[in-house]
Amino acid sequence: MYLTSEEVNEIALESRLMLTEQELAGAVKYINNFLDALQCFKELDLKDVEPFSFAEAIECPLREDKVIPFADNEAILHESEHVDGSYFKVPRIMEE
């Protein structure tokens, strides 16, 4: 066991996921099996290995600083059930 169910539950909440008891049990087993499978990395000497970023040298392409307004911001707003006037309305941010 790498992680207890309490720890897994805390991670889940950090990801804004509430798990049922059954889901939590499944997640605990899943994570621990998974972490177990990852122990194999320890067999490799990775000290001087560079982390992989892209499959070959590629540079971040840069675009000209030019304003091109998006044609249909209404279509974006239309997709939310939380739009109130021209704003997105959400419940209060501070918790009790």
Partner 1 sequence: MELYELNLLMMTEGLKAKKFSASEIFESCKKRIDACEPSIHALITRTDDTMPTFNENGALAGIPTVIKDNLCTKGLRTTAASKILGNWRPPYDATAWSKLKDAGSILMGKANMDEFAMGNTCGNSAFGPTMNPNDTSLVPGGSSGGSAAAVSAGYVPFSLGSDTGGSIRQPASFCGVYGLKPTYGMVSRYGLISYGSSLDQIGPFARTVRDLQLVMSVISGHDNMDSSSFSDRPHDFSYNEKASVKGKKVALVKEFADFTLDAPIADAMKRTAKILEDEGAVITEVSLPVVSKYAVACYYALAMSEAHTNLERYDGVRLGYTVKDARGIKEMFERVRSHGFGAEVKARIIAGTCLTEPTRCEEYYVAATKVRTLIAQEFTRAFGETDYILQPVTPSMPGKVGEVDDDAMKGYEADLYTLPVNLAGLPGLSFFTGYAGNLPVGLQLIGKRWSDSELLDTGIILENHLGSPRIANGGVK
Partner 2 sequence: MAELTFTPVIGIEIHIRLKSDSKLFCSCSTNTDAPANTNICPVCMGLPGTLPHMNHRVVEQGMRAGFALNCGIRPKSLFFRKSYFYPDLPKGHQISQCDLPITTSGYIEVHDADGNLKKIRVHHLHLEEDVGSLHHSASDGRLEGADTSYVDYNRSGTPLAEIVSEPDVSSSAEAVEYVMTLRRRVIYSGASDVELEKGMMRFDANVSMKCSDGRWGHKVEVKNMNSFKALERAIEYEIVRQKKIMLQGGEVIQETRHWNDAKGITSSSRVKENYRKFIVEPDLPPLYIDQEWIDKVAATMPEMPDVRANRYVKDWGVSQEVADVLTDDRNLADYFEDCVKAGANPVRTANWVRTEVLRVLNEKGVKISDFTMKPETLAGIVSRVDGKKLSTTQGKEVFDWICANNGGIDEAVKALGITEGGIAGNALADVIASVIAANPDVIDEIKSGKDKKGKKLKFLQGLVMKETKGQAKPQEVSEAIEKALN
Whether the Cβ atoms of residue 34 and residue 28 lie closer than 8 Å to each other: no
Give the CA distances from residue 59 to residues 2, 24, 49, 56, in Å, rounded to whole numbers and listed in that order.
Answer: 39, 42, 21, 10
- For the packed helices 21-38 and 5-14, what is the interaxial angle rounded to 10 degrees? 100
Binding pattern for the stretch 49-78 against partner 2, x by CB under 8 A and - elsewhere: --x-xx---xxxxxxxxxxxxx--x--xx-
Binding of residue 1 to partner 1 (CB under 8 A): no
Q: Are 1 and 8 in contact (CB under 8 A)?
A: no
> Contact between 65 and partner 1 (CB under 8 A)?
no
Element (H, E) at 96: none
Contacts (CB under 8 A) with partner 2, residues 24-43: none
Among 21, 65, 79, 84, binds partner 1 (CB under 8 A): 79
Residues in contact with partner 1 by the rule CB under 8 A: 3, 8, 11-19, 23, 26-27, 30-31, 33-35, 37-38, 40-41, 44, 46, 49-56, 58, 60-61, 63, 70, 72, 75-76, 79-82, 88, 90-96
